[in-house]
Amino acid sequence: MTRVLVVEDDPQLVRALVINLQARKYGVDAAPDGATALRLAAARQPDVVMLDLGLPDMDGADVIKALRGWTRVPILVLSARQGSDEKVAALDAGADDYITKPFSMDELLARLRAAVRRTEDAPLVPETVLVETADFSIDLLAKKVVRGGRDVRLTPTEWHLLEILVTNPGRLITQKHLLQEVWGATQSNKTNYLRVYMAQLRRKLENDPAHPRYLITEPGMGYRYEG
Ligand code: CA
């Protein structure tokens, strides 16, 4: 089954897309914002991403850049923006195709089929799901971390935190977001959990955990992964 990740904050459009895609036997995940999109892209490994450029939490072009840090998944941009600047920026950031709203469902489906066909026609190059740094490498598919030639054992919680951070390189991820993603919304005041787990991750990954090079704290705000 071809899996499509729909990234769109307009619930009516999401509903229309989900109904139409499911009717044609696509598997569909939907994300209402960029942060959810990046998390779902890593977790669900979609075959195609349909991406609205105007999202509530981040610019669509930044979502594209973040995805392109680790995946070659075809990205079909949906945008109400008519300007060619945005179109060029989206394509430069690594989008594969662009469709301007309002569009007909038939045209969208044709573009989607073309995007899938292009990847099927492409030579079998392994998907890049590796995050490589000078000190460690992370295989997002195999959920494996290697440092100094040895496997690093991470707990599921540590892995979940690390995955969110490294799939958003350079971006501040708020404490609240991490707590909600990893521990559920009811735990969103427990910032001490985060400190403990981030300290563990640094001990496992950083050469100098007291002066982290990769897992950066933004005091009072959250954390950021620097690749
Ligand atoms: Ca929008």
Which pLDDT tens digit goes with each residue over 33-58? 999 999 999 988 999 999 999 999 99
130-225 folds as Arc Repressor Mutant, subunit A (1.10.10)
The whole-number pLDDT of residue 34 equals 96
Q: Which amino acid is at 34?
A: G
The whole-number pLDDT of residue 126 equals 45
Lowest mean pLDDT among 95-109, 116-130, 133-147: 116-130
Superfamily of domain 3-121: Response regulator (3.40.50.2300)
The pLDDT of residue 186 is above 70: no
Bridge partners, residue 29, by sequence: 5
Sheet containing strand 150-152, strands side by side: 130-132, 136-139, 144-147, 150-152
Q: Cα of 78 to ligand 1 centre, how many Å?
A: 9
Q: What is the pTM of this model?
A: 0.56
Residues whose beta carbons lie less than 5 angstroms from ion ligand 1:
9, 52, 54
Q: Which amino acid is at 139?
A: D
Q: Cα of 52 to ligand 1 centre, how many Å?
A: 6
Domain ranges of the chain: 3-121, 130-225
